[in-house]
Each structure stands twice: as structure tokens, then as C-alpha cells.
């Protein structure tokens, strides 16, 4: 039977017994015991004379015991890194993620990756654009967007929706196919509300002077009053009511910028 040979530890050969070192050690222990007993006796006598001093003394004692407990040496495998070395290693050398190469663009996924790849690479189908069935059902913002879409559909460029607070009468601004500047006022009214002359007067006072319109158009889902149409004819403002808007949308009538206005 062969007995395996044990390797010598990293501590080296064991030190020889020393009488002097042992005497010094026992003397130090005796001093600690005597000093500790004296300190305990002094503290007890002081506590008896001054009971209020017991609490801070006890707190200091507890703090000292806790400090000694925290500073006690921890056992770790021989030859392994200490806690300070481990902390420095984690600080300057954080764990790295897996460096496995990603599959190339022409590599086929295997196993369960096929199902996941199929789900991730499934093409998204764009929702078809919804056609407007009734412009009167839109809100004010939606109506302006719909008119801008009609202008863009029929060849206008640089179409912008500028309606809102402080628009000064312009809701849609664009460039007509022939290069003229188009300014549109949108009036989404109910069937019982007509566009009056005051509405067109406010638009006529800004469309040319402020917005530099070369084509001024007012579009409504309702109708116009007779005075409003008279003012529009005098100021060369094209007026489209609900019926004319439907014809423009369906393509049965030309866009408003192709309509001549009689002065």
C-alpha cells in the first residue's frame, strides 16, 4: 500500500519553541487581565456613585465589542485572495458578458431559435389609410388635416397645417402645382350653422396682407350666407360648401385652385 506524500504548506517549516516568547506572552496576558479587572472595578464604583453614567459607559462598551467583532480576521482558503483584493478585482475588472459570436446573417437558426426568429422577423403590415366618409363627423383638427391631405393628393407641395390659436385666419398653407401660394380657411360647421360675412371678412383681412396668399380658399362642411358669398366674390375668395367639398373629394370637380373667380 502506497501512502501519498503530502505537500508542504505555504507556511514553511514550523518554528522552534522559545521560552522568552512564551514568557512575554504570559506577561502580556496577565497585564490584560489585571488591567481589565481594574477598569471593570473602577467603572462599577463610578456607576454606583453616578448611576446616570451607566448608559454612556455601556454604549461605549457595546461599541467596542462590535468593533472588535467586525475587525476579527475571517478564515478564507489558504492562498486565495483577501477581501480587499476581491473588492479591487470587482471594481477594476467587472464580470464580462458572454463573448459568444452572434450568428452571421446567412446562418440558419437551430432548435427553438427558429420559432423566436420567426416571431421577431415577421413583417409588420401597415394599416390601410382610412377614407373619410363624412367630413362633418371630424373635429376641427381632423377637418384641417383632411383638407391638407386633399391638397397634397392633388399635387400641392410644402403643405402645412397651421391652424390654432393665433393662426390669423389661415389653417392650411401650401404651394399649388403652378407655384402660387395657397391659403385655406377651414370651417367645420354643423348643418344648421352657415358661414357668415363676418367670418369671411376676418379671413379676407389677413389672407392677402398677412399670409401673402395668391389663392385664397374657404372650405366648410355647411353652407354660406348670401352676404358672405357677395363679399367673397369682391375679394376673390374661393368658397367651397359641403357639396363642393364632396365633389372635390370624389374627383368629380377640379381642385379649387383650378377654378377661376369672376371679379
Could you report the per-residue pLDDT of 216-261, keeping only the tens digit for each?
999 999 999 999 999 999 999 999 999 999 999 999 999 999 875 4
- Which pairing describes strands 157-161 and 237-240: parallel, antiparallel, or unpaired? unpaired
Q: What's residue 121's pLDDT?
A: 41
Could you report the per-residue pLDDT of 53-65, keeping only the tens digit for each?
666 767 777 777 7
Rg (CA), the chain: 47
Nearest to 198 by CA among 223, 168, 228, 220: 228
Contact 182, 148 (CB under 8 A): no
Q: What is the mean pLDDT of the chain?
A: 74
- pTM surpassing 0.75? no
H helices, E strands: number in the chain: 8, 5
CA separation, residue 181 to residues 28, 49, 176, 215 (Å): 103, 102, 6, 6
- Which pairing describes strands 157-161 and 172-175: parallel, antiparallel, or unpaired? antiparallel
Q: What is the DSSP letter of 221?
A: S
Flag whether pLDDT at 161 surpasses 60.
yes
Amino acid at each position: 500500500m502506497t501512502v501519498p506524500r503530502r505537500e508542504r504548506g505555504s507556511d514553511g517549516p514550523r518554528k522552534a519553541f522559545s521560552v522568552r516568547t512564551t514568557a512575554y506572552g504570559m506577561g502580556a496576558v496577565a497585564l490584560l487581565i489585571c488591567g481589565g479587572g481594574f477598569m471593570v472595578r473602577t467603572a462599577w464604583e463610578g456607576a454606583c456613585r453616578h448611576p446616570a453614567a451607566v448608559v454612556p459607559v455601556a454604549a461605549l462598551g457595546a461599541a467596542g465589542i462590535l468593533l472588535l467583532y467586525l475587525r476579527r480576521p475571517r478564515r478564507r482558503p489558504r492562498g486565495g485572495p483577501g477581501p480587499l483584493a476581491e473588492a479591487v478585482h470587482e471594481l477594476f475588472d467587472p464580470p464580462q458578458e458572454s463573448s459568444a459570436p452572434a450568428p452571421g446573417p446567412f446562418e440558419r437558426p437551430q432548435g427553438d431559435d427558429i420559432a423566436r426568429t420567426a416571431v421577431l422577423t415577421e413583417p409588420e403590415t401597415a394599416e390601410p389609410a382610412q377614407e373619410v366618409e363624412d367630413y362633418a363627423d371630424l373635429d376641427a383638427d381632423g377637418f384641417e388635416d383632411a383638407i391638407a391631405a386633399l391638397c397634397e393628393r392633388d399635387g400641392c407641395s410644402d403643405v402645412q397645417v397651421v391652424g390654432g390659436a393665433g393662426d390669423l385666419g389661415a389653417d392650411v398653407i401650401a404651394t399649388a402645382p403652378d407655384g402660387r401660394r395657397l391659403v385655406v380657411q377651414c370651417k367645420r360647421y354643423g348643418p344648421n350653422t352657415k358661414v357668415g360675412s363676418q367670418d369671411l371678412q376676418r379671413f379676407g383681412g389677413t389672407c392677402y396682407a398677412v399670409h401673402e396668399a395668391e389663392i385664397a380658399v374657404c372650405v366648410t362642411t355647411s353652407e354660406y350666407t348670401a352676404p358672405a358669398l357677395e363679399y367673397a366674390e369682391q375679394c376673390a375668395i374661393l368658397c367651397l360648401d359641403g357639396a363642393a367639398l364632396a365633389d372635390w373629394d370624389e374627383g368629380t370637380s377640379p381642385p379649387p385652385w383650378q377654378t377661376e373667380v369672376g371679379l
